[in-house]
Each structure stands twice: as structure tokens, then as C-alpha cells.
Chain A
Amino acid sequence: MLDDFMWRAMIAGVLVAMAAAPLGCFVVWRRMAYFGDATAHAAILGVALALLLDVSIFFGVLTVALVMASCVSMLSGRGYAMDTLLGVMAHSALAIGLVAVSFLAGVRIDLSAYLFGDILAVGKTDIRIIGGGVALVLTLLFWRWSSLLTATLSDELAYASGIQPRREQLVLTLALAVVVAVALKVVGVLLIAALLIIPAATARPFCRTPEAMAILAAGIAMLAVTAGLRTAYVMDTPTGPTIVTLAAVLFTLATVVTQGWRLLRQRLQPASCHSGK
């Protein structure tokens, strides 16, 4: 089964979706969308450094993503608004990464593979690395779940329950860096944030508890990955962007259905009021 490139792509994609979607819920709840984007964009710098130093790409990306995320955490609240800071850092990191890649004389690398992903080229080693990373992220989320949620609600409530909000922030930062490193191969640096946020946003209107939202988001992400892979194969379109497009279609459908349902209820309600009088 692992000898077929489509199966390898499917396994890699589903694994990444399983970790990215629940983590993406926290990104949405804590309003860290731009934070995820900045970390993902910095990954291209990690690719350049990894090629330059001849270390594994996964390791290079993980390191740079961690450094980037810690920098943002440290710099926040020191004079600049968070979105300004992230805007500066995200695009600077992307630009510097692209410049750094161009310095790699003698190495012909396929830049678009890193920008938009190259899921069909996933090898057996990649699957092992992705599997390890995903297991680590899911373990972290499962282990810290209640503390993470409490810290997301309010810093003071967390302190009063003996939870250190800064430590929980660190857990999320670490998980985010790992997800960026393993998702690079699947959707590329430009679209990683989409894999985090879109499934979570799609799941929101259908859920009453955080746990339900995380599980439904994971399901939606896995559906987008499998359907996207299939569509890309049939229509011969780029795989990473097709996966994100499928996720966007699911989001649009969910929004239309829930908003339509709400409008319908609003139209019905005044009528029942009148008849009540």
C-alpha cells in the first residue's frame, strides 16, 4: 500500500489534518490566525537554512518556526500592536527566505514545492516524520487540553486554578511549529494557515462544546484532504491548492446553510408573534 504514491499522499494528508484542525481551533479561539501565518511564512527561511547547512528540511523548518514564534511572543506588548508586528515579521521572513534560497548556488530547488506543497512526492521517511510530529502534537493537546482551554478563557481564571497561562502559550507555540514543519510538504508555507483555520471556522456553527468543535474540525479537514487529492488527480490541478479550495467550498456551504437557516427562522418568528397577538 505504501508503495503507491497516492496512498502515501493520502496517509500524509490525513495525518496532518488530524493535528492541524484541533490546533487550528485554538488558533481561532485565541485570535492567533496571523500568528500561525507568520510562523508558516518563516518556514521558507528554514528551508533555505536547511539546504545551506545540509541538515534535514524538517529540522530546519522546525527550528526557524520555533524561533519565529518565540520572537513574536516576546516582542508582543512592547510598543507595537500585535497585527502590525506579525505583518512585519511574516512578510519579512518570507522575503528573506526567498532571497536566501536564491543564494544557494549550484542547488536547483523547486521553489513552488515549498510554497504550495508537494504531497504527491511524500516518501516513506516523510510519512514516518509526519506521523511522529502529529503524534507529538496530539499528545500535547490531549495532555494539556483542560489547562489550554482554561488559559484561553481568561488569564486570571487560569492563575486562580493554579495554571500558568504563559506555559500554556508555550505549549501552543511548540505545537504550532511542529504542525508547520510537517504540513510544509502537504500544502506548502503559503497555505498552512488555511489548513489550521478553515476547518475550525467551518465546524463552529454546528458545535456546542470545544471538544465537539475540535473533533468535527478534524473530520472536515480529513474530508477536504481526501476529496482534494481525488479532485486534483481527476482534474490534474495542483494538489495543495486543490485541498485548500475544497476546504473553502465546505466552509462556504456551511456558512450558506447556517445563515440561510437563521434568516428563515427570523422570517418565521415575526409571523408567529403576530398570530400570537
Chain B
Amino acid sequence: MRLAQFPDSDAILNVCHLNVRFGGQHILENISLDLYREQVVTLIGPNGSGKSTLVKTLIGAVRPTSGQVTIAPQQRIGYVPQRLHLDPTLPMTVKRFINLPRRNPNRDVQKALEDAGAGALIDAAMSELSGGQFQRVLLARALLTRPDILILDEATQGLDHRGTAEFYQHIETVRRTYGCAVLMVSHDLHVVMRTADHVLCLNRVICCEGKPEQVASSPDYQALFGDQTAQTLALYRHHHQEAANAG
């Protein structure tokens, strides 16, 4: 099915009754979502809940069994993958990597690297980068297209607390300077609560969604992540607001 016009004039990305099946298995069932300009939407869900499949469907790597993904005209997508294994036999500098598949003026490359917090790395070899540096280079590569929608698939996996915090700081700066919407898969629930405008809790179907505190207090969410985590999150949000009021 293909709609003649874009369903919601304000949304820049729309997913409509999306279903994905592999073999006989239903991976994603009846997923609908809208993404708006400068909105931060976070996807959470247990392992195997279809988060990565949803992201892959959005970037066109997985074909939906039914339903559709529509992107508003002239909206560019920047994609930061989960992690990337570079074969050690493939020599690659940061500069060369970031210019794949299209070459960009040096000035733009340097700017993107600086925006991603990797300004000094342009001449480094990809194999010499730490986990955090690697992710920042991936972010810079996504920024080069000047994206309207930035999609991140568990981009902080394998980073330590400090690395994770720094990475999200860069994302937040990028969102403000580039004015792009962000859709990210995340396991860092504290970060989710602090940064997300909208949270989608996925477990094959979207089992609950809303503002972070709404999701945290939802019984579906508590069933998935346990009471303990939910309380931590509710508390975190609470403290955060108090701090804001005090300040």
C-alpha cells in the first residue's frame, strides 16, 4: 500500500502499520509512529524485541512485509550504526572513511568531525581508534549529509559510563546546532529519561509510549523492565525536576 500524499503534514517521518516477518516469525507487528522536527524519540525494549529491525527498516536495509515507511520530501537521514567491525586487512584512515561513498570538501569534513567531538582525528587510522572515538567518527560521517533525521542504533554499546555520557552530550549539541530530529535505540535508561521527548517501548509491538515519566509508570513497562528499574527512573525524573526548580 502506498499513500498518495504524506499522512501528517507536520511529521517528517511516518511509519504506518508496519509488519516485518522473517520466515514464520513475526518480528515487528503493527508499528506506527511519527517523528517531528527536532524531536528526540528513544526506542527501548528488551533484547530481541525488534529494535534493530525497526531501525534497519527505517534506513531501507529490511523490507517491510506490509505497511510502510514514509519520509517527508527532501528530508535527509543520517545513520549511526550499532558498531562496525573493520576487517584488519582493510587499511582505512578517518578521512578516507568519512568520504565514503561520496567525497566532501575538506572544510566540511573537518567541521563534521569537530561537531562530533573528533576534530583531532582526521588523519588517524581507523584501527587505532578507541571505542568512543570510533563512535564519534561514525557520528561525524552521519553529520556530513547535514541530516534532518539522525538515527542511532545503540550507538553507545560497549562504551563506559563516561564515554556514554560524553557521546550523548555531543548528540545533544548536534541536535541543537543542526536542528535535526533524533531517533535512537538506547539501553541507557537514565539518559533516556533526561534527553528524550518521547519514548517508545518496543516488544514486537509498541507496548507503551509517551513522555518518559508516563512510560516509566506504565504497567507494561514495569512488566518488561521490572519494578526496580521503573522506580529508579521515576525517582531520577523526580530529582531532576526538583533540581531544576531549585536552580
Question: Using a CB–CB distance below 8 Å, which chain A residues touch chain B?
Answer: 28-31, 146-147, 149-150, 152-163, 200-201, 204, 207-213
Contacts and interface: CB of A to CB of B under 8 A. Distances in A.
B170 interface: no
B101 interface: yes
A147 B101 contact: yes
Given A150-B100, A161-B101, A156 B87 contact: no
B182 to A, nearest CB: 15
Contact of B81 (A30, A156, A163, A207): A156
Given A154-B84, A157-B81, A207 B91 contact: yes
A66 B81 CA distance: 33
B73 interface: no
B79 A29 contact: no
Interface string B55-86: 01001110000000000000001010100101
A29 B86 CA distance: 9
B50 to A, nearest CB: 16
Given A156-B61, A157-B84, A210 B101 contact: no
**Most chain A CB atoms below 10 A, which of B61, B91, B93, B125:** B91
B161 interface: no
A160 B89 contact: no
A159 B61 contact: yes
Contacts of A210: 90-92, 96
A163 B61 CA distance: 10
Contact of B101 (A155, A163, A201, A213): A163
A31 B90 CA distance: 11
B84 A29 contact: no
Nearest to A154: B84
7 contacts: A149-B100, A150-B100, A157-B81, A157-B84, A158-B101, A160-B79, A208-B91
B162 interface: no
A162 B96 CA distance: 19
Given A209-B91, A210-B91, A157 B86 contact: no
A152 B153 CA distance: 20
A149 B77 CA distance: 20
**Most chain B CB atoms below 10 A, which of A200, A207, A209:** A209
B102 interface: yes
Interface string B93-116: 100110011100000000000000
A160 B61 contact: yes
A91 to B, nearest CB: 25
Interface SS majority for chain A: helix
A29 B81 contact: no
Nearest to A203: B91
Nearest to B84: A154
A59 to B, nearest CB: 33
**Most chain B CB atoms below 10 A, which of A29, A150, A155:** A29
Contact of B89 (A29, A149, A162, A208): A29
Nearest to A213: B91
A163 B101 CA distance: 9
A204 B34 CA distance: 47
A210 B77 CA distance: 26
Contact of B59 (A28, A160, A201, A207): A160
Contact of B102 (A29, A146, A152, A200): A146
Nearest to B95: A209
Contacts of B86: 153
A209 B60 contact: no
A160 B60 contact: yes
Given A29-B90, A204-B91, A208-B92, 5 more contacts: A156-B56, A156-B59, A204-B89, A208-B91, A210-B90
B91 A156 contact: no
A159 B101 contact: no
Interface in B32-46: none
A205 to B, nearest CB: 9
A160 B77 contact: yes
A101 to B, nearest CB: 36
Contacts of B97: 153
Contacts of A154: 81, 84
**Most chain B CB atoms below 10 A, which of A154, A156, A213:** A156
B91 A152 contact: no
Contacts of B100: 146, 149-150, 153
Nearest to B125: A208
B68 to A, nearest CB: 17
A125 B23 CA distance: 51
A147 to B, nearest CB: 6
Contacts of A30: 87
A2 to B, nearest CB: 38
B59 A159 contact: yes
Nearest to B100: A150
Nearest to A31: B87
A146 B60 CA distance: 19
